[in-house]
Chains A and B, each alone.
Chain A
Amino acid sequence: KAGVTQTPRYLIKTRGQQVTLSCSPISGHRSVSWYQQTPGQGLQFLFEYFSETQRNKGNFPGRFSGRQFSNSRSEMNVSTLELGDSALYLCASSLAGTSGRGYEQYFGPGTRLTVT
């Protein structure tokens, strides 16, 4: 079974631009979560999507948004990029449904975003 895939793997953007990152979950996984990893803040939860609905959001400004499609693929968007948005953005998928059973999340290789 193919793992979680993320595209692109690397991005360089300029301050003020916007960026869209894509994530394809493992087949059969309907929950997709996004995390930001930086040396200073570590791994921080951005948001989780299930059945095309955002059901949990981390403490990030509104410039960070996302969506999920009917095939469970997800995208996240960052508008008006700031230098501090430079990070590794990780997508994870799981079998989680509505039961709250703490399913393990499987992570993709990440997209490394550099803002200059």
Chain B
Amino acid sequence: AQKVTQAQTEISVVEKEDVTLDCVYETRDTTYYLFWYKQPPSGELVFLIRRNSFDEQNEISGRYSWNFQKSTSSFNFTITASQVVDSAVYFCALSAPNFGNEKLTFGTGTRLTIIP
């Protein structure tokens, strides 16, 4: 069975502060994929990043960065110099596709509020 844990239910930071969202996953599969999605108040899930289990390189995209560590089964997401537009619920997700099955298992989400 697969499981994704986002222990931080809600986080509030003042604008321009850095913030890290934690994600811990469980799977017995050796090949798996990890994702982060953003859900703004409008409700639509916005894809942010995909990482496969064989690629532990950290990734940076503008103010966003992701730290993947297989040793601790974690895939954390950092926003530097946060902005009010970053306020949203962020979901970490896992898939272990088998014969094309692409089911995503989501964490419970972290609600991030950026205070101006």
| A interface, CB within 8 angstroms of B | 31, 33, 35, 42-45, 48, 50, 55-56, 58, 88, 90, 92, 94, 96-110, 112
Min C-beta distance of B35 to chain A, whole Å: 6
Tell me, yes or no, whether B91 is within 8 Å of chain A by CB: yes
- From the candidates A31, A88, A100, A104, name the one contacting B98 in the complex (CB within 8 A): A100
Asked if B99 contacts A98 (CB within 8 A), the reply is yes
- From the candidates B91, B97, B105, name the one contacting A101 in the complex (CB within 8 A): B97
Tell me, yes or no, whether B108 is within 8 Å of chain A by CB: yes
Stretch at the interface among B17-25, B45-53, B57-65, B73-81: B45-53
Asked if A105 contacts B102 (CB within 8 A), the reply is yes
Asked if A104 contacts B47 (CB within 8 A), the reply is yes
> How far is B50's CA from A107's CA once the two chains are assembled, in angstroms?
14
Asked if B104 contacts A56 (CB within 8 A), the reply is no
Asked if B100 contacts A102 (CB within 8 A), the reply is no
Secondary structure type dominating chain B contacts: loop
> How far is B2's CA from A61's CA once the two chains are assembled, in angstroms?
21
> How far is B43's CA from A107's CA once the two chains are assembled, in angstroms?
10
Asked if B52 contacts A100 (CB within 8 A), the reply is no
Interface centre among A43, A48, A97 (most CB of B within 10 A): A43
Tell me, yes or no, whether B95 is within 8 Å of chain A by CB: yes
Tell me, yes or no, whether B68 is within 8 Å of chain A by CB: no
Asked if A107 contacts B100 (CB within 8 A), the reply is no
Q: Which residue of B lies closest to A51 (CB)?
A: B100
- A residues near B98, Cβ cutoff 8 Å: 100
> How far is B91's CA from A50's CA once the two chains are assembled, in angstroms?
25
Min C-beta distance of B10 to chain A, whole Å: 14
Q: Which residue of A lies closest to B44 (CB)?
A: A109
